[in-house]
Structure 1
Amino acid sequence: MKITRRNLLAASAAFAVTPALAQSTKNMTLVVPFPPGGSTDALARLLQSHLQTKLGRTVLVENKSGAAGSLGAIQVAKSAPDGATFLVTFDSHAVIPSILEKPGLDVEKDLVPVFLVGTAPYVVAANAERPYKTFADVIAACKANPGAVKYASVGIGTLGHLAMTVLAKKAGVEITHVPYRGGGPAMNDVLGGHVDMIIGSAALITAQLGTNRLRPILQLGRERMTALKDTQTAIEAGFPDFETLAWWGIFAPKGTPPDVIADMAKSVKEILSEPAVAAQLRETQQMTLLLADGKEFSTFFAKQVSIWGQVVRENNIKA
């Protein structure tokens, strides 16, 4: 190839923007602390394919479920801080310190917030063969037969579980909680009729609406989502100012170099800002994309730890 000033400038520019992440020859692993089939797993696998292309590295997704999502978090916290391992996790991560007696890690010190992807309202839905059309129907059934109505969540300490605990307390009823290790297993049992209802992120619930086997009865955002325009919000159902949003974020082991953190945040932001990818997350996962970097995510995360930790302590919830 003929060497020209233009070629030299192009090569220099390409070298200058080579991210620290792309310089490593090690495989990158995205650890998901839940089983396959849920929204967090779907997000990780979406990122996997794009990161692989963008960085020129092999990117793997590893599902490490258990202990309210802490097993996967511990694995990442103990990994080398070299940009080879990241945690792609869900809202329950903020509840680990309050719900586990011996969590095995300090979520605010052993892991570094890298990127806050987005949020989505929680939604309560019933097996379509059950008689519940609204949350008022659920409350009436619970009053008639305390403890008989059962709901699934994606795990003890997820915001869905905590939200239902608060709703039941406000309504003065008992609703039996059946926790699962992730969205996939929880949804399977609700669709199969083994559990009456489920509370999950809008991403998990709306994916099943076309089957006619699930009926949404309450959404926990401040306003009705377009996908659930006929479903009441909790505020409309008589729970003033009540809102619960699921969230998804990425963390790295403590000690990961700032340039690696910045490069990962930049890469993920560029991927999720692509119109087709953003549309996919909005349509299939019902996400409101926040695309916030580590500093903003740190502030958000600290508030989540405080708010939901208080709910855990007030209701004496343990994993």
Structure 2
Amino acid sequence: MQKITRRTMLAASAAFTVAPALALAQSSKNMTLVVPFPPGGSTDALARLLQSHLQTRLGRTVLVENKSGAAGSLGAAQVAKSPPDGSSFLVTFDSHAVIPAILEKPQVDVEQDLVPVFLVGTAPYVIAANASRPFKTFADIIAASKAKPGSVQYASVGIGTLGHLAMTLLAKKAGVEITHVPYRGGGPAMNDVLGGHVDLIAGSAALVTAQLGPNLRPILQLGRERLPVLKDTQTAIEAGFPDFETLAWWGIFAPKGTPPDVIASMAKSVREILSEPAVASQLRETQQMTLVLADAKDFGTFFAKQVSIWGQVVRENNIKA
């Protein structure tokens, strides 16, 4: 029988520590990062950023597959039905938390069929106006809406998205009616606002700040603190809506039943990739993202809160996809 010494105990401990890091690399199967939205959006950009780095780190082929439709539930359902062996992960966006409330018969139970792996980061939503409109503050929008209910229109990237839900909640708190004009994505929504066809847009900071200029004016940001690029724009809290916050977020999920060491391995790999200064800087600059880098447990707590908050808004306002 081998004698147990302090050296053998330390060796065993070290082996246990590195095991999660090897869990993904030891698989001979390709890894697929499923994005439940069309190519070109922020989630797709994040997945493709991770793809190249994961492929190099793990020494295995990593693919990105765009599976859009049904408010992101088609891609989520595909991952949920995949083998729980580290070969398939969902890289998704904040609207994932709204699926249970917005769809009558979703193809996936996002709280039971998938498990949180990693919360990448967050960014505030921003409300902006076509620069030809007279609105300089959200108080101006409220005044115009009270004078002529429904006359002010805003674009969002779709029914049940957080931009839509945040504006619904703000209008309700302000006691006004603001007309929603939903689009299939940020590009079409922004084009119509820039073209003067719609007054306002409620979108992620990345979508809005990229277009600020002669044709687009920032009105209100929905984070707790002002972004450096929007240092002269009020937050909703400063505008008189206590504790009001709406954050875009990006996260990674795996099929239910995925072994803990595989989840830990993926989280470790993603954390190390996103902690590289060049990568972190890229996400901050292109997405106005605050990197959170939270592992499965903390992400699970955050996600459950998001499901509760926005599910309540959907139900109370009878919003349907």
Of all paired residues, the percent bearing the same amino acid is: 87
**Aligned residue in 1 for 2:143:** 140
Find the aligned partners of 1:230 and 1:274 in 2 and give their Cα distance.
30
Find the aligned partners of 2:83 and 2:193 in 1 and give their Cα distance.
39
Question: Is this contact kept in 1: 2:21–2:269, CA < 8 A?
Answer: no
Give the C-alpha shift of residue 297 in structure 1: 0.7
Which runs of 5 or more residues in structure 2 are unaligned? 1-14
Question: Is this contact kept in 1: 2:32–2:62, CA < 8 A?
Answer: yes
Which runs of 5 or more residues in structure 1 are unaligned? 1-12
Comparing 269-278 with 126-135, which one deviates more in the overlay?
126-135
Find the aligned partners of 1:187 and 1:24 in 2 and give their Cα distance.
42
Give the C-alpha shift of residue 99 in structure 1: 1.4
Task: Report SS of the residue matched to 1:295.
Answer: helix
Find the aligned partners of 1:16 and 1:312 in 2 and give their Cα distance.
43
**Aligned residue in 1 for 2:178:** 175
Task: Report SS of the residue matched to 2:46.
Answer: helix
Question: Is this contact kept in 2: 1:39–1:285, CA < 8 A?
Answer: yes
TM-score under structure 1 length normalisation: 0.89
Find the aligned partners of 1:17 and 1:144 in 2 and give their Cα distance.
61
Comparing 177-186 with 35-44, which one deviates more in the overlay?
177-186
Alignment partner of 1:258 is 2:260: yes
Find the aligned partners of 1:223 and 1:246 in 2 and give their Cα distance.
14
Task: Report SS of the residue matched to 2:37.
Answer: coil
Find the aligned partners of 1:79 and 1:212 in 2 and give their Cα distance.
47
Alignment partner of 1:202 is 2:180: no
| Residue-pair matches, total | 306
Find the aligned partners of 1:270 and 1:76 in 2 and give their Cα distance.
24
Give the C-alpha shift of residue 234 in structure 1: 0.9
Task: Report SS of the residue matched to 1:19.
Answer: helix
Question: Is this contact kept in 1: 2:20–2:265, CA < 8 A?
Answer: no
After superposition, give the CA deviation of every residue in 1:99-121 in whole Å (9 maximum; x if it has no partner): 11101111111001000011111
> For residues 224 and 67 of structure 1, do their structure 2 counterparts lie closer, same or farther at Cα, with a shift above 3 Å needed?
same
Task: Report SS of the residue matched to 2:63.
Answer: strand
Specify which of 38, 42, 58 is matched with residue 39 of structure 1.
42
Give the C-alpha shift of residue 96 in structure 1: 0.8
After superposition, give the CA deviation of every residue in 1:28-85 in whole Å (9 maximum; x if it has no partner): 2211122223222221121122112222222222222222221211121122222121
Specify which of 266, 269, 289 is matched with residue 267 of structure 1.
269
**Aligned residue in 2 for 1:296:** 298
> For residues 188 and 87 of structure 1, do their structure 2 counterparts lie closer, same or farther at Cα, with a shift above 3 Å needed?
farther
**Aligned residue in 2 for 1:74:** 77
Question: Is this contact kept in 2: 1:35–1:181, CA < 8 A?
Answer: no
Give the C-alpha shift of residue 17 in structure 1: 7.8
Task: Report SS of the residue matched to 2:144.
Answer: helix
> For residues 18 and 303 of structure 1, do their structure 2 counterparts lie closer, same or farther at Cα, with a shift above 3 Å needed?
closer
Find the aligned partners of 1:81 and 1:181 in 2 and give their Cα distance.
32
Residues 44-55 of structure 1 correspond to what in structure 2 (within 5 A)? Answer: 44-55=47-58
**Aligned residue in 2 for 1:62:** 65
Question: Is this contact kept in 1: 2:20–2:262, CA < 8 A?
Answer: no
Residues 91-240 of structure 1 correspond to what in structure 2 (within 5 A)? Answer: 91-209=94-212, 211-240=213-242
- 1:103 maps to amino acid: P
For the aligned residues, what is the CA RMSD? 2.0
After superposition, give the CA deviation of every residue in 1:234-281 in whole Å (9 maximum; x if it has no partner): 122221221111111000111222221111111100000111111111
Find the aligned partners of 1:65 and 1:250 in 2 and give their Cα distance.
16
Question: Is this contact kept in 1: 2:20–2:261, CA < 8 A?
Answer: no
**Aligned residue in 2 for 1:7:** none
Find the aligned partners of 1:124 and 1:40 in 2 and give their Cα distance.
20
